[in-house]
Chain A
Amino acid sequence: MIKKRAMVLVSNDPESIRLGANEIVQHLNEALVTYGIQDEVDVSTVSDVNHSNILPLVVVYPEAVVYGPVKASDVRYLVEEHLYKGRVVDDLLAPPKMLTGQIGWLRGHKGYNPAEHRIVLERAGRIDPENIEEYITANGYEALGKVLSEMTPESVIEVVEKSGLQGRGGAGFPTGRKWKFVRAAQGSKKYIVCNADESEPGTFKDRIVLEGDPHVIIESMAIAAYAIGADEGYIYIRGEYGLAYRRLEKAILQAREFGFLGKNIFGTEFNFDIHIHAGAGAYVCGEETALLESLEGKRGEPRSRPPYPVTKGLWNKPTSVNNVETLANIPAIVRNGAEWYRSIGTPSSPGTKVYTIMGNVNFSGVIEVPMGVTLREVINIYAKGMKPGSTLKLAQTGGSSGSIIPAVLQDTPMDFESFRKAGVSLGSGALLICDQNTCIVDLVKVLLQFFRFESCGKCTPCRVGTQRSYEIVDRISKGQGKLEELDTLLELAAEMERASNCGLGQTATVPIRDMLKHFRTEVEAHIRSGSCPTGICEMAQEVEKV
């Protein structure tokens, strides 16, 4: 007897039948015979789907790939590609936007993620990053050609502005507006700087782009340079990213050889070249003014603002500093237009977001999905659920200074606006998923250890505030805390937020506030009974009882 290796389900609710589901089943069976695999694949129908806008659906198991809407004429190709050759047919995949919010019926099926939507990571992992020709074949440098031959700098900025693209480094500032400011700034010498100093704990999305698709950054920087009126660009990459550095270096040489960098690009008057600069290990250099200081060969201590980099940036010249993920969106926006980009994600946060998932889940790694996907969906679909025996206790979104949210908030759509309303930060897109064996005090202590170490020390509120906060939480973790110290923590937080010079000190307080907002009982238990409810913290009981 031949063992079935795949199962194909076709939706056969009345709407699907009206749209040709029966023909699809018929074509499926015929195509399976054509390819001689009719004994290996089962075809069945299913009626409990609630996706009225993408019917008829064809779902292929065991991978749980969802295609829809499918036409009878697509079936033969689908069978050939997916069932005969084993390749997922991207063009027929159900649009992920339609699936979000209603994915209950997909739960429990492991395998390929049907609902990813890749723009930023479109080529990463699919092309040879060290071969410019593969990038060119995959629409590479087409957007730069279009910009230089058909568009004025103003119209480039307009497209980016209309697309609604917001900076993906954490702050969410509209990219088009930033470019507009730099273009309008006084002076003839301007710079574009790519912030590739990805040091936010739990974040490695930019590394995937830099290592897997370095040319997209070169192309976008050239487009940005044309738009803002720059002829020179810098990539500031963290010192730890050796492989990414070498690939960028190689990509820049290839781009020069092919005439995408250098003088008279595409035979126009436009000149542009890029330098790479490696950092030497300092989290604070991800802050844009600290990054500029470091680029100039100084300690990475953030500058006082204003003036902002858009008017006085690198070497005091107008400068646009853009994150890797932000830039990686640009060529696709230029090629496909602002409307296309706006059709993805939510109205207030268009486009996709790259998330890095980690913690007590079955799958850790990178995904790119439309803005607005919920944490529950990320955990259940993309992370393939919590690890056996684990239940969700909390998640930290956006890295060390990200919000710590309890399980009850997991249905908040993840986009800039919904998160802002819920008082949660989306940050860099890191999603740290923690189970019942995570102690909130222990976690916040680790986060504060990070901040006190990484604080650059320039301003007092941050330098002293992170240190004192750490000491208090450390005492609590040892059963030696006092209840009134919780008020001290909040007082310190208020001062750090008010008076710190940069985002590091201003947001280091987020985990402290969230700890006291959502998990106060657990914190107080450490103080009142001198014990850790999860048994994680090592209590210094003997010392205390004397």
Chain B
Amino acid sequence: MTVQTIDHDVVSVVQAAIEKHGKNRDAMIPVLSEINRVFGYVPREAIQEVRKQLHDPARQVHIAESQLYSLTSFYDMLSTKPRGRHVIKFCENAPCHVVGGKAIWDGLREKLSLENGETTPDNKWTLVTTSCLGLCSVGPVLLIDDDMYGNVTPEQISEILEHYE
């Protein structure tokens, strides 16, 4: 990975997130979520910037970079690594599994030549499994960015992927 410098973009994104969610400790997860939404992951530089802006002993708010990294790695919707332009989340839980989920998972892996957690060389797709999305009545389910697809059949995979640039 190339070394990035803290550019204006990271600073302003962090600033906007903090303005929206506040400066207290309980704002950290929403702030990191906001950053993840903008960049597709939480860059190291953003973690440094959040610490810089939030750590304030005078207000009894003590925040270390390691804590922010620890949060980012704990929560599934936050990523420590860059992801592709589009992220495919496939539900791997039992309700989707018993109605044909495995065939969809195999189809996705084959079509994109990806394993769980990998990104295509052209940076277009990242494929990950996810836990239940709460759409079990229309399983098997997948989520591409914010678009939900239900009752997916192996034949539909190509057609669904074609919608994305």
A145 to chain B, nearest CB (A): 32
Q: Is A83 an interface residue (CB 8 A)?
A: no
Please determine whether A359 and B99 come into contact, CB atoms closer than 8 angstroms: yes
Q: Which residues of B contact A277 (CB under 8 A)?
A: 26, 29-30
Q: Which residues of B contact A438 (CB under 8 A)?
A: 98
Q: Which residues of B contact A242 (CB under 8 A)?
A: 146
Category for how many chain A residues contact B: 35 or more
Contact code string B67-94 (vs A, CB < 8 Å = 1, else 0): 0001100111110000000000000111
Please determine whether A296 and B26 come into contact, CB atoms closer than 8 angstroms: yes
Please determine whether A280 and B70 come into contact, CB atoms closer than 8 angstroms: no
Contact code string A293-305 (vs B, CB < 8 Å = 1, else 0): 0111111100000
Selecting from B3-11, B119-127, B131-139, B156-164, the interface stretch reads B131-139
B98 to chain A, nearest CB (A): 5
Q: Is B28 an interface residue (CB 8 A)?
A: yes
Q: Which residues of A contact B137 (CB under 8 A)?
A: 204, 356-358, 364-366
Q: A201-B136, A204-B137, A239-B77 are in contact. Are A280 and B29 (CB under 8 A)?
A: yes
Q: A281-B78, A299-B71 are in contact. Are A446 and B94 (CB under 8 A)?
A: yes
Interface residues of B in 9-35 (CB under 8 A from A): 24-30, 32-33
Interface residues of A in 359-381 (CB under 8 A from B): 359-360, 364-366
A294 to B138, CA, bound (A): 30
B100 to chain A, nearest CB (A): 10
A363 to chain B, nearest CB (A): 9
B77 to chain A, nearest CB (A): 4
Q: A400-B93, A400-B94, A454-B131 are in contact. Are A202 and B26 (CB under 8 A)?
A: no
Q: Is A466 an interface residue (CB 8 A)?
A: no
A277 to B26, CA, bound (A): 9
Partner of A202, one of B33, B74, B78, B95: B95
Number of interface residues of B (CB under 8 A): 34
A242 to B136, CA, bound (A): 17
| Most central of A240, A359, A400 by chain B CB within 10 Å | A240
Partner of A295, one of B26, B71, B98: B26
Q: Is A449 an interface residue (CB 8 A)?
A: yes
Q: Is A432 an interface residue (CB 8 A)?
A: yes
B99 to chain A, nearest CB (A): 7
Partner of A283, one of B24, B27, B92, B131: B131
Q: Is B44 an interface residue (CB 8 A)?
A: no
29 CB contacts below 8 A, A to B, read: A198-B134, A199-B132, A201-B132, A201-B136, A202-B132, A239-B75, A277-B30, A278-B29, A279-B29, A280-B32, A280-B75, A282-B74, A282-B75, A283-B131, A294-B29, A296-B25, A297-B25, A297-B29, A299-B74, A300-B75, A359-B95, A359-B99, A360-B98, A396-B94, A432-B95, A443-B98, A446-B93, A446-B97, A456-B74
| B interface residue numbers (CB < 8 A to A) | 24-30, 32-33, 70-71, 74-78, 92-95, 97-99, 130-139, 146
The 8 closest A-B pairs by CB, nearest first: A281-B76, A280-B75, A281-B77, A201-B93, A201-B132, A364-B137, A204-B134, A297-B25
